[in-house]
């Protein structure tokens, strides 16, 4: 009875509990963790999700929480900005460098065109150099024995000559150093040829000293006397190119480049005369050769004459540059002064030009004519002679 009574009481409690059961609602997961609620467009899905969480709550299962979704915002990187500015800087520098290089080459090309236009002879300059008549006349030519025993070598072929030779042309200089006695020899030249710097005509033969030197006669010995016989000058014979000329015996001779194409004749003071050999193109005229090689020189400054050995010579007006040509090459004599204001040895290079001759030259220097009225036995009896109308050779 007792057990039946308890069983009945238990059944009543269950019925009472069943009648008083209340529907349980759970808070959605979006409210957990302090998150603001998200309003879903689909309300049915929210209800279903809430029911699912409620069922899990009732069944004792831990509801699953969905991690909140956060929206990522991309912040521009400072490293990317640096790369961008570095690329821009490189581009700008490249453009600047290319502009400078282009400007440089354009400037150089403009200068080169200007130099070519300047060096191109004008129409009036393209005339052949004027022939200057010789101021001396020769009535007799006597063949004399050579003063040197050195033999002239006969070249079998024309050796190669450098194409890129640069000739050291001096500027036009018309002023000489001191000449006390006004005999057309400077005081330094008087010392070379052993003439008296205070006497206009040292040997008293009626020819002033400078006139005798440039015509290859001795100023210290009475006429007839050749300067080569005095020992004051030597007769230089080129070992390969077979040309000859006089030069002061006190000067030194040297090969500039070791190829015998450039020879140097130098004084102890540093003044020197250089002789250069420059090849001509096949069939090239002197005028065309001059325009190609003589950079900065004017064709209109040249005069054509004959030297004492009847060799045709083209000289510059100031007589510091001379040209002698043959079929294949041009010989260029250039005076190189230490200073660009005054010239101490202008008449020395003039003497060298007057004595220049090629290997095939057969002309010899004629004997000097003694002027009428000159007593050659003693200089003390020499009187005044007017040579204003006289010529050196008769």
Instruction: Give domain limits for the chain.
Output: 24-66, 123-368
Q: Are the C-beta atoms of residues 369 and 149 closer than 8 Å to each other?
A: no
pLDDT tens track for 290-342: 999 999 999 999 999 999 999 999 999 999 999 999 999 999 999 999 877 88
Which residue would you say has higher pLDDT here, 5 or 214?
Answer: 214
Q: Are the C-beta atoms of residues 208 and 200 closer than 8 Å to each other?
A: yes
343: pLDDT strictly greater than 60 = yes
**Which residue do the tokens 């000097």 mark?**
368
Phi, psi of 306 (to 5 degrees): -120, 140
**Which residue do the tokens 């609602």 mark?**
25
Most confident residue range from 127-131, 196-200, 222-226: 196-200
pTM for the whole structure: 0.55
* Cβ-proximal residues to 327 (8 Å cutoff; 6+ apart), any chain: 280
* Mean pLDDT computed over 47-68: 51
234: pLDDT strictly greater than 90 = yes
Q: Are the C-beta atoms of residues 363 and 225 closer than 8 Å to each other?
A: no
21: pLDDT strictly greater than 70 = no
Give the C-alpha separation, 111 to 249, whole Å.
45
Q: Are the C-beta atoms of residues 165 and 276 closer than 8 Å to each other?
A: yes
Q: Is 57 exposed, middle or buried (0-12, 13-18, 19+ CB in 10 A)?
A: middle
Give the C-alpha separation, 265 to 253, whole Å.
5
């Amino acid at each position: 009875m007792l057990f039946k009574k308890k069983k009945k009481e238990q059944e009543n409690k269950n019925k009472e509990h069943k009648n008083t059961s209340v529907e349980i609602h759970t808070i959605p997961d979006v409210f957990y963790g302090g998150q603001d609620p998200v309003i879903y467009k689909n309300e049915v899905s929210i209800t279903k999700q809430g029911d699912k969480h409620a069922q899990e709550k009732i069944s004792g299962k831990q509801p699953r929480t969905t991690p909140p979704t956060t929206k990522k915002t991309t912040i521009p990187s400072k490293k990317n900005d640096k790369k961008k500015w570095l690329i821009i800087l490189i581009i700008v520098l490249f453009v600047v460098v290319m502009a400078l290089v282009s400007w440089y080459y354009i400037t150089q090309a403009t200068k080169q065109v200007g130099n070519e236009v300047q060096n191109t002879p004008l129409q009036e300059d393209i005339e052949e150099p004027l022939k200057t008549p010789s101021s001396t006349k020769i009535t007799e030519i006597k063949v004399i024995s050579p003063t040197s025993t050195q033999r002239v070598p006969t070249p079998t072929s024309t050796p190669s000559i450098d194409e890129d030779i640069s000739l050291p042309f001096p500027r036009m200089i018309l002023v000489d150093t001191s000449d006390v006695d006004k005999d057309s020899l400077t005081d330094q030249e008087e010392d070379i040829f052993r003439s008296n710097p205070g006497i206009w005509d040292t040997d008293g033969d009626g020819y002033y000293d400078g006139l005798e030197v440039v015509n290859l006669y001795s100023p210290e010995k009475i006429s007839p006397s050749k300067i080569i016989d005095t020992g004051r000058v030597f007769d230089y014979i080129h070992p390969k190119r077979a040309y000859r000329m006089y030069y002061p015996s006190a000067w030194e001779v040297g090969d500039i480049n070791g190829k015998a194409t450039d020879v140097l004749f130098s004084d102890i003071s540093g003044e020197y005369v250089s002789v250069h050999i420059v090849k001509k193109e096949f069939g090239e005229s002197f005028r065309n050769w001059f325009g190609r090689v003589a950079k900065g020189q004017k064709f209109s400054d040249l005069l054509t004459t004959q030297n004492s050995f009847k060799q045709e010579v083209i000289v510059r007006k100031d007589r510091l540059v001379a040209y002698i040509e043959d079929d294949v090459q041009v010989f260029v004599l250039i005076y190189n002064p230490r200073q660009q204001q005054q010239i101490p040895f202008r008449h020395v290079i003039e003497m060298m030009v007057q004595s220049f001759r090629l290997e095939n030259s057969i002309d010899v220097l004629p004997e000097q004519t003694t002027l009428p009225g000159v007593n050659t036995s003693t200089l003390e009896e020499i009187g005044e002679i007017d040579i204003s109308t006289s010529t050196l050779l008769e």
